[in-house]
């Protein structure tokens, strides 16, 4: 059973930084897709940053390009999201996720993920 637990969220002023972590247990190394998503009460869950281990491809949402960076820990069991120059519109629940895709399948969407963390709140004040 794969378990994902997020940490590192909280409240910050606009322009500040936070680093989210996602600790995994179970067979996360067997999943080729991993990523961060976010959701507000008014919006559907959206992709923030996703990573495909099969070619080390990374995709960022246009709204976070140049500000956010997704990375993996050396032990491959932790996923990070470094968030810089935060804006009030980044306020949301952030979720880490992982999943498997077949040959030719894309990791870079919500439907590619099979397992989700419970989420962690990030609040950015102006």
Q: List, for residues 5-32, the tens digit of each pLDDT value.
A: 999 999 999 999 999 999 987 765 558 8
pLDDT, residue 87, reads 98
Percent of the chain predicted with pLDDT > 90: 73
Q: Are strands 46-52 and 18-25 parallel, antiparallel or unpaired?
A: unpaired
Q: Is the pLDDT of residue 59 over 80?
A: yes
Kindly report, residue by residue over 81-123, the tens digit of the pLDDT: 999 999 999 999 999 999 988 888 899 999 999 999 999 999 9
Q: Are 51 and 35 in contact (CB under 8 A)?
A: yes
Question: What is the C-alpha to C-alpha distance for residues 110 and 90, in angstroms, rounded to an integer?
Answer: 18
Q: What pLDDT does residue 28 have?
A: 55
Q: For the residues 34-41, what does the mean pLDDT come to?
A: 94
pLDDT tier, 77 (very low <50, low <70, confident <90, very high otherwise): confident
Rounded Cα distance between 49 and 51, Å, is 7
Which of 78 and 25 is assigned the larger pLDDT? Answer: 78
pLDDT of residue 117: 94
DSSP-assigned beta bridge partners for residue 98: 34, 115
Quote the CA–CA distance of 59 and 122 in Å, as a whole number.
Answer: 21
């Amino acid at each position: 059973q794969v378990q994902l637990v997020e940490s590192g969220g909280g409240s910050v002023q606009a322009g500040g930084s936070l680093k989210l972590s996602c600790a995994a247990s179970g067979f996360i190394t067997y999943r080729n897709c991993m990523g961060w998503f976010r959701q507000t009460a008014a919006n559907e869950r959206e992709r923030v940053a996703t990573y495909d281990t099969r070619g080390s491809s990374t995709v960022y949402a246009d709204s976070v390009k140049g500000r956010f960076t997704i990375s993996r820990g050396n032990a491959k069991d932790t996923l990070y999201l470094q968030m810089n120059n935060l804006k009030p519109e980044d306020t949301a629940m952030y979720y880490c996720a992982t999943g498997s895709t077949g040959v030719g399948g894309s990791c870079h969407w919500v439907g590619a993920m099979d397992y989700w963390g419970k989420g962690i709140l990030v609040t950015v004040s102006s």
